[in-house]
Chains A and B, each alone.
Chain A
Amino acid sequence: MDDYLIGVLSNIGVISFVALSAYLLLLTGEISFGQQAFFAIGAYAAGIATALWGWSLAAALVWGAAVSGAAALLVGVPTLRLHGLYFAIATLAFAEMVRILFELFRYQISIDGELIGPNGTDGFRNIRYIFDHNIDAFQFLLLIYSLLAAAMLGLLLLERSRLGVIFRMIGQDETLAELQGIPVARRKVLAAGIAGTLAGIGGGLYAHLTTYVEPRIFDIMLGVHSLAYGLIGGLGTAFGPLLGVLIDIGLLESIRALAGYRMIIFGGLVALLLIVRPRGLLDEMVVHKIGRGWRRVSLWARRSSLKPRGNSA
């Protein structure tokens, strides 16, 4: 597999985490333009852990996820009373605050005669873990995708579980959910925490993938993009945001011929898509139909494989 393809696939994998993060919040009915803040926190925390404190990658990723999850829980509480647009703008404000704080954040240690660490607007260079430990690009790709697979497994299980149904109920109608006895506030904070953790894992991976992060990367563009991926790919299933990321980055990379017009074409396509499909490609209707079709097929398969006498259920 050539390096370029590995690079593109790695990017797709990492950005998927932020997309899933925004998607989870969308399920509970909240629009967040701010998940990139947790992406940033995860990136910086994990980078600091390996580059400045000498931790192992695994520990650093867990640390990054924990810090961003905690931050998400902290922010989830004061924004509980906010809904819809107000919540969205609050997340945007929070994310920009975090970004500017990183522009002011300086934490440098001298290692081997060289200053390493986040340096305000200059960013955080030399997160060299994968080079110092001889992890090649393909191995890192495997790491990204195994973590993504684990996260997807968790999310898909979540969607089938009672908690997942609760999240969608809250998304549909909060008052009704509250009337059913669901502690809506606590569940929303839980969703925020999980979403933040997801973004944090992605951030930690991103920092080590690119070895260099700066605050500019974590701006509003990233935030609205991650929201857009879920909306393009579909809000019916956790595969939706992945599809969105694939379409965006995959398409972006493949339409090389029209390099200068990419955004124009892509933007127009997204706008048109959203007219016919406001909930994305894999929206709830499509997922439901796929599920029904699958059940029909498996029922038919089971019926035709039953012995003619004596064994039918």
Chain B
Amino acid sequence: MGTAVKPETEGKQRLSDWRMAVKSASYVIATLAMLAPCGLENAHAQIRAKADVSCQPAEKLQYDCIIKLANARTSEPLSGLTLTVGADMPSMPAAHNMRPVKATEEQDKGTYRARIALEMYGDWALRLELSGTVRDRVVKLLRFESDRVGEATPAPGRHRH
């Protein structure tokens, strides 16, 4: 270092740099290629679920939610599933998480109830995880306030003048 590098060695060094970059990249692509077959097995359509969620404020920052699950295509109620409800705040993924709660099925087939406790008011994306005979996930975006729960319309921009 410090003296001029001869053209041939400089070329070789640059080549070794590129080789290094390519080598690192190829590890990643190789891993992907190895795992690719995993996805190609059951490429048939699964049962898709749709959900109807309505929540009412209970105590402070706690809400009682009634969730109706149905087959997205046939609208037939889905019963006997294990439903877990999680919540994420869209503006901070992986933080402000709520520990998922299990919902209990009510008398009506396909109707489930869960009580969720949130950290703060605002827009939350409720993550309804279905398992059992049907495995699916439905995401519902709702705005949770102190006195009501409504549709969340993500407003463009934060401040308006």
Contact = CB atoms under 8 A, between A and B. Distances in A.
Chain B, interface size category, equals 35 or more
A150 B4 contact: no
A92 B23 CA distance: 31
Contacts of A150: 27-28, 30-31
B138 to A, nearest CB: 9
Nearest to B26: A154
Contacts of A151: 27-28
A3 B129 contact: yes
B128 to A, nearest CB: 11
Interface string B88-102: 101111110101100
Contacts of A134: 41-42, 46, 135
B125 A212 contact: yes
Given A123-B154, A180-B1, 6 more contacts: A58-B32, A100-B156, A112-B45, A190-B21, A194-B24, A249-B95
A122 B43 CA distance: 28
B17 A163 contact: yes
List of 5 A-B pairs having minimum Cβ-Cβ separation, nearest first: A154-B24, A58-B36, A11-B94, A212-B139, A150-B27
A190 B92 CA distance: 30
Nearest to B137: A211
Interface of B: 1-2, 4-5, 10, 13, 16-17, 20-21, 23-25, 27-33, 35-36, 38-43, 45-46, 48, 84, 86, 88, 90-95, 97, 99-100, 119-120, 125, 127, 129, 135-137, 139, 154-156
Interface stretch (A26-34, A215-223, A285-293, A295-303): A215-223
A52 to B, nearest CB: 16
A62 B10 contact: no
B37 to A, nearest CB: 9
A7 B127 CA distance: 12
Among B1, B84, B97, the one with the most A-chain Cβ atoms within 10 Å of its Cβ is B97
B32 A62 contact: yes
A163 B19 CA distance: 10
Nearest to B134: A131
A157 interface: yes
A123 B1 CA distance: 52
B23 A253 contact: no
A265 to B, nearest CB: 13
A214 interface: yes
A215 B137 CA distance: 20
A65 B156 CA distance: 28
Contacts of B24: 153-155, 157-158, 194
B21 A194 contact: yes
A190 B155 CA distance: 37
A154 B30 contact: no
Nearest to A201: B28
A133 B43 CA distance: 5
B43 A217 contact: no
B90 A216 contact: yes
A181 B4 contact: yes
Nearest to B1: A180
Given A3-B100, A154-B24, A211 B39 contact: no
Interface stretch (A79-87, A139-147, A276-284, A305-313): A139-147
Contacts of B39: 56-58, 129, 133, 135
B4 A153 contact: no
Interface in A172-200: 180-181, 190, 194, 197
A282 B75 CA distance: 55
Contacts of B32: 58, 61-62, 147
A162 B101 CA distance: 51
A56 B46 contact: no
Q: Which of A15, A194, A217 counts the most chain B CB atoms within 10 A?
A: A217
A136 B91 CA distance: 26
Contacts of B119: 259-260
A161 B43 contact: no
Given A58-B36, A163-B20, A166-B17, A7 B42 contact: no
Contacts of A136: 135
